[in-house]
Chains A and B, each alone.
Chain A
Amino acid sequence: DTAVSQTPKYLVTQMGNDKSIKCEQNLGHDTMYWYKQDSKKFLKIMFSYNNKELIINETVPNRFSPKSPDKAHLNLHINSLELGDSAVYFCASSQVLGTGYGYTFGSGTRLTVV
């Protein structure tokens, strides 16, 4: 069983469209994150949720809206996609906020905006 799973794995879409990426973890972790990895491989934190509550919201355009229906799921919705949104988006989870225990990444979603 995959511990942190993301869908879809690849997403190609046109500028201006709206798209969603889904993430689920079966580790029983309390905290989930979204990271963006750009073409230079830099991993940047975007959001974190702890027990469905938004904890971190870095400087991210408000076109990006995370949603956590329960603590096992964290989805990312992106409105009005732009070319600069092209990147790999990684979901991650950890056991307890602020400890780093069990920090585990999903397999990533490669988003290409054309």
Chain B
Amino acid sequence: GENVEQHPSTLSVQEGDSAVIKCTYSDSASNYFPWYKQELGKRPQLIIDIRSNVGEKKDQRIAVTLNKTAKHFSLHITETQPEDSAVYFCAALPNQAGTALIFGKGTTLSVSS
């Protein structure tokens, strides 16, 4: 089955710096790659997603890139702010019947002012 690896597990940056989180997946048939942000004690919330027919997607300060050949995708956050501090999860959806999102182990991002 699908396996998603996520790095780094923790990331500390200064306010205004950029942050990059990387994920790799094992199933070349996976076709949907969302990113979730989870604040302390809250539910995971979708912040951006990308499908396998797209290489890059941007939404204000966040962007996601996908390299299907290498089977990896990355989250880029520019001009980080303290409110970006949270746990970020990447996920992959295998392209087969009856599947669910498979998550990476998460990255704890700390943005200090």
Contact = CB atoms under 8 A, between A and B. Distances in A.
A99 B32 contact: yes
A100 B97 contact: no
Contacts of A99: 32, 93
A39 to B, nearest CB: 12
Contacts of B32: 99-100
Interface string B79-95: 00000000101000101
Contacts of A45: 100-102
Contacts of B103: 42-44
Given A56-B98, A56-B99, A100-B93, A107 B106 contact: no
B45 interface: yes
B46 interface: yes
Contact of A98 (B38, B42, B96): B96
Q: Which of B43, B89, B101 has the most CB of A within 10 A?
A: B43
Contacts of B97: 97-98
Contacts, number: 54
Contacts of B22: none
A104 B45 CA distance: 7
A103 B106 contact: no
Interface in A92-113: 97-100, 103-108
Interface residues of A, number: 22
A48 B97 CA distance: 12
A44 B49 CA distance: 19
Interface in A22-41: 33, 40-41
Contacts of A90: 43-44
15 contacts: A40-B105, A41-B38, A41-B108, A43-B44, A43-B89, A43-B103, A56-B98, A56-B99, A97-B97, A98-B96, A98-B98, A99-B93, A103-B34, A104-B46, A105-B45
Interface of A: 33, 40-45, 48, 50, 55-56, 90, 97-100, 103-108
